[in-house]
Every structure is written in C-alpha cells, then in structure tokens.
Amino acid sequence: MRNITQHNVTDAVRKSFEAIDDTRLRFLIERLVTAVHGYARDTGLTHEEWRAALDFLNRAAAISNASRSEFTLLSDVLGLSSLVDLLAASPGATEGSVLGPFHSRGSPWVESGASLIKDNPGEPVLLRGRVTDTQGLPIPAATVDFWQNADNGLYWQLDSSQPQDNLRCQLRVQPDATFELMVIRPRPYMVPTDGPIGDLLRVSHRDAWRPAHYHVIVEAPGYRTLVTEIFDAEDPYVAQDAVFGVRESLVADFKPGNDPAVREKYQLAGAYRVVDCPVKLAPAA
C-alpha cells in the first residue's frame, strides 16, 4: 500500500473490501472493483476521459432532486433497468418492465370500478384484469398500484396544471380477483433531455421517446411483486423505446368498446377503448 503500482492496485483495492461482513455485499463490491478496473484497463481510459465521466456524473447530480433521478434515467437508457427486470423474470408469470422515475408511494386508494378521468381530456379506456397465480388460481388479496401520464404526455409531478395525484391510484382487487378502472389512453412522451442523459442521447442520434404505456405494480402476500407496464400496440414508438422496456407479451390491443352499460356506469358521452390486462404472479422466493 506504500507502493501502489499499475500491477498491484486492483488487488490492493479488492483486499481493502475483504472485511465486509455480508457475503453477498462483499461479492458485489469485489466484482464491482474487478469490473471498474477491468474497464479502465481494457479501454486505456485517459485522465481527460475520466474527468469527462466525472463531469457527467456531477452534472447528473446537479440536475437530480427528490422527484427526479438522472441516475435512474442513466440506468434506463443503458438498458440496465430493463436487464434487471428480465433477470428477475419468473417462468409463467407476467413479465416485468421498468419502474420509471414517476412512481412514488402513497397513491390514493380507490375501489375497483372507479374512474380516474375526472377533468382529464383524452380517449376513455376501460382497463380490466384479473390477478392469478401461474396456475390461473385467483389471488383475491392482491393490490394494484396504477399510474399513467395525462393527455399532454406529462405525469402530474411535472405539470402544475394537473391536480395532485392525477391519474394514479391504488386498489384492492374484487373477491374474484378481478379489477377494473376507467382511465384515459396514455401518450408517448420523451424522457427528460435537459440533463447529461439528453446530451448522451443526442450524441448517439438516439431519440428520447417512450411509447405510450400504463404502469402497474401488483402485490400480494406470498407472491413476488410485479412491476410492469402495458404498452399500446398502435403507438408509433412501440418498437423503439428509449429505455428498452417493451416486451411482446406486454403490448396490448386497445379494442373499441361501446357497451351502453359501461357508458352509463362511467358517464361516458361516447365510445371508449378496452384493454385486458391479465396478471400472473409468481410465488415468493
């Protein structure tokens, strides 16, 4: 340690973490050191490049705050968030997709059958589903956390023209494990491009669009929590999601609906769309 050289530095750093008590954390940090040092060696990373990388992270820090994490977005555009979702997949269960930066705990509780439309413009959509295990058996204890963007493409957190908690809710499924919500058709939108991630996307000639989607988190005691999205099959960006979140099984048809009973229940003036969203949860590990 008094004579750190190019040849012994990686071992010295690994050794410095050997006393971590938690076996898994020790493994994760040891691999992190190996990966980071391997990257610098393989690429012959220069001072200027290292400084540019730190400048990138410092700019990411400066633009982040309690309701915006440029680091989550970095993980998203590098496909890491998506990869972690995919690695967590359980055979037979609904696929997961990225959580995104607009979820926060504490959405208002509503009953299944509620309408979130209120004063929102946009095409009405009846979102309905049933939560089962991978064998198809109903899970009546399941809860659904739902959020989507408004017709102008913005989530309520970033848009002072929307009421607080606009277009988000939590609900308990019905005794038969079904649920139903009247919502609006989601809109494609761009991830924020005013920070360093925006620079990265521009220099890569990548666009910042995310195809229109709903977010849901489905939880039930004894089952793995599902964090996923439901995409609109007709969206122009469904095959080029900036954050690599689309899976074929999560692309839904927004079918035309015009049932007078539904129109009356939700006080709709005209036609609407129907999205079926069956959810299968895997057992907890």
The per-residue DSSP string of 13-52 comes to HHHHTTT-SSHHHHHHHHHHHHHHHHHHHHHT--HHHHHH
The answer to whether 215 and 157 have CB atoms below 8 angstroms apart is no
Of residues 36 and 271, the one with the C-beta less far from a copy of itself? 36
SS3 249: helix
Of residues 150 and 208, the one with the C-beta less far from a copy of itself? 208
* Residue 63 CB, nearest approach to a copy of itself (Å): 9
Integer angstrom CA distances of residue 153 from 47, 128, 185, 203: 41, 22, 10, 24
Q: Which residue has the tokens 């060696």?
A: 41
Quick one: CA dihedral 180, 253, 84, 149, positive or negative?
Answer: negative
SS3 260: helix
Of residues 47 and 118, the one with the C-beta less far from a copy of itself? 47
The DSSP letter of residue 192 is P
* Residue 264 CB, nearest approach to a copy of itself (Å): 37
Of residues 17 and 266, the one with the C-beta less far from a copy of itself? 17
55-58 long-range Cβ contacts below 8 angstroms, 24+ apart:
56/196, 56/200
* Residue 56 CB, nearest approach to a copy of itself (Å): 9
The contacts of residue 31 (CB under 8 Å, 6+ apart) are none
Residue 215: exposure state from Cβ atoms within 10 A (0-12, 13-18, ≥19): buried
Of residues 61 and 110, the one with the C-beta less far from a copy of itself? 61
* Residue 189 CB, nearest approach to a copy of itself (Å): 17
* Residue 125 CB, nearest approach to a copy of itself (Å): 21
Of residues 28 and 271, the one with the C-beta less far from a copy of itself? 28
* Residue 171 CB, nearest approach to a copy of itself (Å): 23
* Residue 213 CB, nearest approach to a copy of itself (Å): 13
Integer angstrom CA distances of residue 18 from 29, 131, 153: 9, 45, 48
* Residue 250 CB, nearest approach to a copy of itself (Å): 9
Of residues 130 and 224, the one with the C-beta less far from a copy of itself? 224
The answer to whether 187 and 152 have CB atoms below 8 angstroms apart is yes
Of residues 166 and 228, the one with the C-beta less far from a copy of itself? 228
